[in-house]
């Protein structure tokens, strides 16, 4: 028997000194929000959204989370490029070899052209960590790739960066109350957004995550099969395009 498709729920989180007004436009699939009392904080004044479904256990499964600056919320993810200059996603795959955890992180970008939207894996890193370090390898990859996308050429660009880890800590990281990794804090021109790599494939952010996940898995297996010596996370090996 075919399982029943789970109903998705959109949650909207707003910081406001007033009671906001909501208006839904079913034709354009948008929410219009007015009467928001701003707090005059770049990150706190953003509107956070979550798309969730209820698990069999009764707990919510978050499949997608984004931030909006405008008071019109458009849930067509192909319009991401209207709000951001660049959109990326990062995912990391790991395996144990003895007591060493070997890792490959992959970065994908959302590209647009006259022929439509494309998703391209553009960069990867390979590294290892000792499990005693108590380090989340995802955040190691984030740091490398965030520094890469926020180079001098793009410091003025508005960037969306999808991840699928640390959902409960993303607000703190976005507000620079917690570092991304070590002493590296998120630049103000970048928003960390959440997307699950194993569900929600109708959303571009989730497709980006899935692309990064598949590319990371493929490269990790290839390197292991070829007896690659994974360096420490402090000296990660970088791979560019055509991974």
More confident residue, 227 or 53: 227
The verdict on 92 and 108 lying in the same domain is yes
Give tens-digit pLDDT for 100-135: 899 999 999 998 766 667 899 999 999 999 866 789
pLDDT at 161 over 90: yes
b/e map of 7-21 (b: 16 or more CB within 10 Å)? Answer: eeeeeeebeeeeeee
Boundary (domain end) residue, out of 75, 92, 126: 75
- Domain that includes residue 68, residue range: 1-75
Task: Give the pLDDT of residue 170.
Answer: 94
Q: How would you class 81 by CB atoms within 10 Å of its CB: exposed for 0-12, middle for 13-18, buried for 19 or more?
A: middle
Kindly state the greatest CA–CA separation across the chain.
60
Paired sense of beta strands 30-34 and 47-54, if any: unpaired
Percent of the chain clearing pLDDT 90 (strictly above): 50
**Burial (0-12, 13-18, 19+ Cβ within 10 Å), 55:** exposed
Q: Tell me how many domains the chain contains.
A: 2
Q: The pTM is what?
A: 0.85
The last residue of one of the domains, among 49, 75, 101, is 75
Q: Cα(205)–Cα(209) distance, rounded to whole angstroms?
A: 6
Instruction: Identify whether residues 138 and 242 lie together within a single domain.
Output: yes
243 pLDDT more than 60? no
């Amino acid at each position: 028997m075919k399982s029943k498709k789970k109903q998705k729920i959109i949650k909207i989180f707003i910081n406001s000194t007033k009671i906001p007004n909501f208006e839904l436009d079913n034709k354009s699939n948008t929410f219009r929000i007015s009467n928001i009392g701003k707090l005059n904080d770049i990150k706190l004044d953003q509107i956070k959204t979550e798309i969730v479904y209820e698990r069999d256990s009764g707990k919510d499964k978050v499949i997608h989370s984004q931030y909006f600056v405008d008071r019109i919320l458009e849930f067509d993810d192909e319009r991401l490029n209207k709000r951001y200059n660049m959109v990326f996603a990062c995912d990391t795959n790991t395996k144990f070899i003895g007591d060493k955890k070997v890792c490959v992180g992959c970065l994908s970008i959302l590209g647009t052209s006259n022929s439509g939207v494309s998703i391209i894996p553009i960069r990867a890193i390979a590294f290892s960590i000792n499990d005693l370090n108590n380090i989340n390898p995802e955040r190691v990859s984030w740091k490398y790739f965030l520094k890469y996308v926020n180079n001098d050429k793009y410091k003025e660009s508005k960037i969306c960066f999808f991840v699928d880890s640390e959902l409960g800590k993303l607000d703190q990281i976005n507000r620079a109350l917690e570092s991304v990794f070590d002493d590296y804090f998120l630049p103000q021109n970048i928003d960390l957004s959440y997307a699950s790599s194993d569900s929600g494939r109708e959303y571009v952010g989730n497709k980006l995550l899935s692309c990064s996940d598949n590319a990371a898995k493929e490269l990790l297996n290839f390197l292991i099969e070829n007896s690659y010596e994974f360096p420490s996370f402090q000296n990660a090996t970088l791979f560019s395009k055509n991974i």
